[in-house]
């Protein structure tokens, strides 16, 4: 009779610390994301006040995303070297003055400049991801990173909170309230977070050593995946309120509520994506995410169309287009798919780069953030050029095609070729 193998004892104190770190870090990231997406709501009255065209509006909403993306690589590296607690605390403190002063801006260049500093809040992702992951064993890191990534739901929180403040007190009050919330979050984070010297990368490791992974084609592929599941999420979270207002003529509060039907599942359900990635693997989850995205974006791309057909009874005119209910349902499904995809991409990273999570997550997060910066600008350019609002979805449909083709040739087809005929692995495909 086989002797049972002893199981490793779980330290209750460390387990409590791990969950405390995860909860308070997720709270901090939620607030950071809420601030990062602020222009998605207050940008609408600002657009009207400054008489901006669609391209200028796209640049306005995207400006905070730029710095939040560029800062991700150094923040991820600093987190590896100095620890997530101190890096996150400094980051939160640096954003408070910029958020407050946003309420005093009056000129277009004021908003663009201050938006660059407000955008630092978006870098919190590359701090918290390696910070929380290292508090959990490998088989639960997907869950931990998924729960933390659920802070993306700050985009939905912004759509619930900002319109209420805006209607009651004017758009200028929104940055002031957000600055106070950020300050309170800073205090809570410092009180309930913790640090562990064992999580730090040895001091003899250079930045250049950590960045060598950029030569790895797998990192570039993960950047491509993340540019749609995260970059597309950020871009649409910024774009959807004004899309509903323009396309369906809705009040800003109703538009924000419907837009939250995309933002909320796109953030909250990321935790479930992490659990699924732990159970079924990063590849399987990401593969299905891309196909669901392909179908949804194909349907969303079709513009409102009237066409006339000559029949035996004379000319008949038909209309094809998504009404607000079908549109919102498709956006809801897309939000769920991208929530799972954001978690599965980072499961790839924790599996392939367990000792360099900070730097790699920073690189991949940078790619996703740059997608969130470039896409709203391109949405505006396409809108001004074609006059078709759904051109935004046409663009993202093409990006998903690239991801599917890349995944097929580097993962699906390679696995099929390597698996022997008749094997269980081949049968599962």
Burial class (CB in 10 A: 0-12, 13-18, 19+), 23: middle
CA distance 79 to 192: 18
CA distance 102 to 121: 14
Burial class (CB in 10 A: 0-12, 13-18, 19+), 13: exposed
8-state DSSP, 202: P
How far are the Cα atoms of 227, 236, 342, 344, 404 from residue 285, in angstroms, in the given order?
16, 22, 10, 6, 13
CA distance 379 to 300: 14
Q: At what angle do helices 231-248 and 357-386 cross, to 10 degrees?
A: 30
CA distance 346 to 363: 11
Averaged pLDDT, 13-17: 81
CA distance 118 to 60: 12
Tens of pLDDT, residue by residue over 39-91, are 989 999 999 999 999 899 999 998 998 998 888 878 888 888 888 899 999 99
Buried b (16+ CB within 10 A) or exposed e, 260-292: bbbbbbbbbbbbbbbbbbbeebbbebbbbbbeb
Tens of pLDDT, residue by residue over 330-350, are 999 999 999 899 888 888 887
Q: How confident is the model at residue 211 (pLDDT cuts 50, 70, 90)?
A: low
Secondary structure class of 222 (helix, strand, coil): helix
CA distance 383 to 386: 5
CA distance 100 to 201: 35
Tens of pLDDT, residue by residue over 228-286, are 998 998 899 889 998 999 889 898 889 989 998 898 887 778 778 888 888 888 888 99
Tell me which H or E stretch contains 242. Answer: helix 231-248
Q: What is the pLDDT of residue 185?
A: 95
Secondary structure class of 95 (helix, strand, coil): helix
How far are the Cα atoms of 115, 240, 355, 369 from residue 65, in angstroms, in the given order?
9, 16, 28, 6
CA distance 75 to 88: 9
8-state DSSP, 388: -
**Average per-residue pLDDT in the chain?**
85
Q: What is the pLDDT of residue 303?
A: 87
CA distance 296 to 298: 5
Verdict on whether the full-model pTM lies above 0.85: no
Percent of the chain with pLDDT over 90: 41
Select from 377, 34, 65, 333 the least CA-distant residue to 175: 34
CA distance 323 to 69: 34
Paired tokens of 135? 């508090």
CA distance 164 to 171: 10
The answer to whether 350 touches 149, Cβ cutoff 8 Å, is no
Domains, the chain, ordered by start = 15-193+207-428 (1.20.1250.20)
Length of the chain: 429
């Amino acid at each position: 009779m086989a002797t049972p193998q002893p199981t490793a004892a779980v330290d209750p104190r460390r387990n409590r610390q791990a969950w405390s770190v995860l909860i308070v870090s997720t709270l901090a990231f939620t607030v950071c994301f809420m601030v990062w997406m602020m222009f998605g709501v207050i940008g609408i009255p600002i657009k009207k006040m400054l008489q901006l065209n669609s391209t200028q509006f796209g640049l306005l909403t995207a400006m905070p995303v730029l710095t939040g993306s560029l800062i991700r690589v150094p923040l991820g590296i600093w987190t590896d070297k100095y620890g997530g607690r101190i890096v996150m605390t400094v980051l939160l403190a640096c954003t408070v003055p910029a958020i407050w002063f946003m309420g005093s801006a009056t000129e277009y260049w004021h908003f663009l400049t201050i938006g660059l500093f407000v955008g630092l809040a978006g870098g919190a992702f590359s701090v918290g991801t390696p910070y929380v992951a290292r508090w959990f064993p490998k088989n639960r890191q997907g869950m931990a990173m998924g729960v933390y990534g659920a802070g993306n739901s700050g985009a939905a929180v912004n759509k619930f909170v900002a319109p209420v403040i805006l209607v009651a007190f004017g758009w200028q009050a929104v940055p002031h309230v957000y600055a106070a919330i950020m300050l309170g979050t800073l205090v809570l984070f410092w009180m309930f977070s913790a640090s562990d010297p064992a999580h730090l990368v040895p001091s003899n490791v250079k930045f250049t050593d950590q960045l060598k992974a950029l030569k790895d084609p797998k990192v570039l592929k993960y950047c491509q995946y993340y540019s749609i599941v995260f970059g597309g999420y950020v871009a649409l979270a910024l774009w959807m309120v004004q899309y509903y207002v323009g396309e369906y003529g809705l009040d800003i509060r109703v538009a924000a509520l419907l837009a939250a039907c995309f933002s909320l599942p796109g953030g909250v359900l990321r935790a479930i994506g992490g659990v699924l990635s732990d159970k079924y693997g990063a590849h399987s989850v990401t593969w299905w995410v891309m196909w669901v995205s392909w179908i949804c974006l194909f349907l969303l791309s079709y513009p409102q169309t009237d066409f006339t057909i000559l029949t035996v009874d004379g000319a008949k005119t038909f209309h094809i287009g998504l009404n607000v209910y079908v549109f919102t349902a498709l956006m809801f499904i897309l939000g769920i798919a991208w929530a799972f995809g954001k978690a599965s991409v980072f499961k790839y990273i924790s599996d392939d780069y367990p000792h360099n999570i900070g730097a790699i997550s920073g690189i991949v997060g940078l790619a996703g953030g740059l997608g969130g910066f470039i896409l709203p600008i391109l949405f505006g350019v396409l809108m001004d050029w074609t006059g078709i609002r759904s051109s935004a979805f046409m663009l993202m449909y093409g990006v998903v095609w690239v991801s599917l083709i890349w995944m097929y040739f580097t993962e699906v087809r390679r696995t099929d070729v390597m698996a022997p005929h008749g094997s269980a692995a081949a049968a599962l495909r």
